[in-house]
C-alpha cells in the first residue's frame, strides 16, 4: 500500500493581485504524473483544498477535473478532509457524486463519528488500511460554552475537545484491530490543526486557529499505535516533535515571498510487512519568486540583474534604507518596463511610517496585510507592549471568525 500525503492546496489563492491558476494547473499535472510513476494506491488531502469557502468557477473546475483524472489512474481511493479555509457544506455537496469513484469527502465532523473511519479494502475484501479522516475541528463542534468563560477556560475546553475526539477514534480503531487479529491492520490518522512547536514562515498566511498559543496541540494526542498521522494547516513540510510518523506535508505552492527558501514537498508512505517507510518528494517551482531587501542602490542593481536575465519572475521589494525615497514606485516601474518581470509589492517602510504618522491615505489597503494595518494602528495609538499582546489575541479571534463566516 502506497499513500501520498498532501494538503493546503488553497486553490484560487492570489499572490497580492496576481492570479495563480497557471501554477495550480502545473501542480495538478505534476501530481498526476507522480501518482502514476510512484504507483500510488491512496491519496490523502488534509484540508484547505480551496482558499475561501466560496471558490470561483475556475477553481472548482481545476478541483473536479483533477479528481476525474486521478480516478482513472492506479490510485483507486482518495480521501479529502476539510480545513479551516474550506466551507464544509460546499465540500460535502459533491460527496455522494464522488463516492462511487472511491473519493471520500469529510468536510466536517458529524454526530456519527463512525463516518470518519474509512476502511480501504483489497480485492479479497480484507482491510488494507484504516484511515481516521479527521477534518478541521471547529470551535462549535468540540466545545461546550460555559458561563462567564475566560480566554484561558475557552482554550482548555478546546484542547480537551480535540483530545477527546481523537481518543474516541483510537478506541474504535482498537476494537476493529481486536476483531481482526489474523493479520496486522495499518492505521492512518489525519488532522488539520496547529501542533506545539510547529514551524511557520512570515507571510505564509497561517493563522492561529483558536485564540492564543495554548491551543497548539501536543503530539501525545496521537497514540503510538498509529502507523502514520497526516496533518494539514502548516505550510512548511515538517515532522512533529521527534516522531517520524507524524508530519505536515506543507502547501504545494509558496503562499508568500517568505517561503522562497523552503522546498515544497509531498510525502509518500509505503506500508509493507508491518513496516512504514516514509519519503519526501520535492515539488518543482512553477513560478519563480524573488524578494529584494535593501537600500535604493541594492534594489536597483538586483532588479536590473533580474530583468537582464530575461526571466518571468514575480518580485517583492522591501526598502529598508535610511533615506526617505518617495519615488520608489516610479523607479521600479521604469526598470521593469517592457520586461516579463512583475513587481507585485513594494514595501517602503519609511514612507509607510510617515503616512500613518501624518494620517495621509496614499498607501493602498491592498498593499498591506490585515496584521500590518492592525500593528500600525497599535503603534499610532501608543498602545503599551503588554496591551498589544491582549489586543492581538482578540484581533486574531475576530479575524478568524470573519474567515470562518466566509
Distance, in Å, from the CA atom of 266 to the CA atom of 34, rounded to the nearest integer, reads 10
pTM for the structure as a whole: 0.84
Mean pLDDT by 10 residues, the chain (406 residues): 97 94 98 98 97 94 98 97 95 96 96 95 92 92 69 79 93 93 93 85 57 62 92 94 92 93 96 91 96 94 93 92 84 94 87 56 58 77 76 74 56
397, 311, 356, 284: which is closest to 23 by C-alpha?
A: 284
pLDDT of residue 134: 97
Distance, in Å, from the CA atom of 32 to the CA atom of 26, rounded to the nearest integer, reads 10
**Phi, psi (rounded to 5 degrees) for 369:** -85, 160
Distance, in Å, from the CA atom of 194 to the CA atom of 209, rounded to the nearest integer, reads 7
pLDDT of residue 211: 41
In eight-state DSSP terms, residue 189 is: E
CATH class of 289-405: alpha beta
pLDDT of residue 313: 95
pLDDT tens-digit map of 3-13: 999 999 999 99
pLDDT of residue 215: 53
pLDDT of residue 202: 67
Query: Contacts from 161-167 at CB under 8 Å and sequence distance 24+?
Result: 161/137, 162/137, 162/193, 162/217, 162/221, 163/217, 163/221, 165/109, 165/113, 165/134, 165/137, 166/134, 166/191, 166/221, 166/222, 166/223
Supply 52's cell numbers.
Answer: 475561501
| Orientation of helix 296-308 relative to helix 328-336, angle to 10° | 20
pLDDT of residue 41: 97
Cβ proximity of 2 and 268 under 8 Å: yes
Counting residues of the chain whose pLDDT is more than 70, the rounded percentage is: 87
SS3 373: helix
Enumerate residues 6+ apart whose C-beta is below 8 A from 252: 6, 8, 9, 27, 31, 264, 266, 283
Supply 108's cell numbers.
Answer: 466536517
For domain 2-282, give its CATH number from 3.40.50.1260, 3.30.70.20, 3.60.21.10, 3.60.110.10: 3.60.21.10
400, 337, 284, 241: which is closest to 34 by C-alpha?
A: 284
In the chain, domain spans: 2-282, 289-405
Burial of 277 per CB tally in 10 Å (0-12, 13-18, 19+): exposed
Amino acid at each position: 500500500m502506497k499513500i501520498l500525503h498532501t494538503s493546503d492546496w488553497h486553490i484560487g489563492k492570489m499572490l497580492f493581485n496576481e492570479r495563480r491558476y497557471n501554477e495550480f494547473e502545473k501542480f495538478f499535472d505534476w501530481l498526476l504524473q507522480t501518482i502514476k510513476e510512484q504507483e500510488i494506491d491512496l491519496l490523502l488531502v488534509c484540508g484547505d483544498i480551496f482558499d475561501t469557502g466560496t471558490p470561483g468557477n475556475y477553481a472548482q473546475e481545476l478541483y473536479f477535473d483533477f479528481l476525474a483524472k486521478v480516478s482513472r489512474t492506479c490510485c483507486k481511493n482518495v480521501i479529502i478532509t476539510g480545513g479551516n479555509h474550506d466551507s464544509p457544506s460546499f465540500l460535502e455537496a459533491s460527496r455522494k457524486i464522488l463516492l462511487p469513484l472511491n473519493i471520500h469527502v469529510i468536510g466536517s465532523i458529524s454526530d456519527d463519528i463512525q463516518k470518519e473511519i474509512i476502511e480501504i479494502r483489497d480485492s479479497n475484501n480484507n482491510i488494507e488500511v484504516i484511515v481516521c479522516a479527521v477534518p478541521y475541528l471547529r470551535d462549535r463542534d468540540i466545545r461546550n460554552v460555559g458561563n462567564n468563560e475566560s480566554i484561558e477556560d475557552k482554550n482548555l475546553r478546546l484542547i480537551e475537545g480535540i483530545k477527546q475526539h481523537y481518543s474516541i477514534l483510537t478506541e474504535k480503531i482498537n476494537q476493529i484491530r481486536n476483531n481482526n487479529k489474523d493479520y496486522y491492520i495499518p492505521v492512518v490518522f489525519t488532522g488539520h490543526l496547529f501542533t506545539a512547536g510547529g514551524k511557520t514562515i512570515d507571510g505564509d498566511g497561517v493563522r492561529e486557529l483558536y485564540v492564543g498559543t495554548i491551543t497548539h496541540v501536543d503530539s501525545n494526542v496521537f497514540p503510538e499505535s498509529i502507523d502514520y498521522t497526516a496533518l494539514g494547516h502548516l505550510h512548511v513540510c515538517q515532522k512533529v516533535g521527534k516522531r517520524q510518523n507524524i508530519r505536515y506535508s506543507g502547501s504545494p505552492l509558496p503562499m508568500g515571498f517568505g517561503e522562497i527558501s523552503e522546498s515544497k514537498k509531498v510525502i509518500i508512505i509505503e506500508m509493507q510487512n508491518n513496516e512504514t517507510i516514509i519519503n519526501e518528494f520535492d515539488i518543482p517551482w512553477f513560478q519563480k519568486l524573488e524578494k529584494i531587501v535593501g537600500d535604493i542602490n541594492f534594489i536597483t542593481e538586483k532588479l536590473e540583474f533580474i530583468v537582464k536575465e530575461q526571466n518571468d519572475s514575480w518580485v517583492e521589494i522591501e526598502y529598508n534604507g535610511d533615506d526617505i525615497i518617495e519615488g520608489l514606485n516610479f523607479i521600479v516601474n521604469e526598470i521593469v518596463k517592457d520586461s516579463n518581470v512583475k513587481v507585485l509589492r513594494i514595501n517602503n517602510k519609511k514612507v509607510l511610517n510617515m503616512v500613518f504618522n501624518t494620517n495621509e491615505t496614499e498607501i493602498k489597503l491592498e498593499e498591506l496585510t490585515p496584521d500590518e494595518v492592525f500593528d500600525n494602528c497599535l503603534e499610532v495609538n501608543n498602545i503599551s507592549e503588554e496591551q498589544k499582546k491582549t489586543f492581538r489575541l482578540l484581533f486574531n479571534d475576530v479575524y478568524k471568525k470573519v474567515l470562518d463566516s466566509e
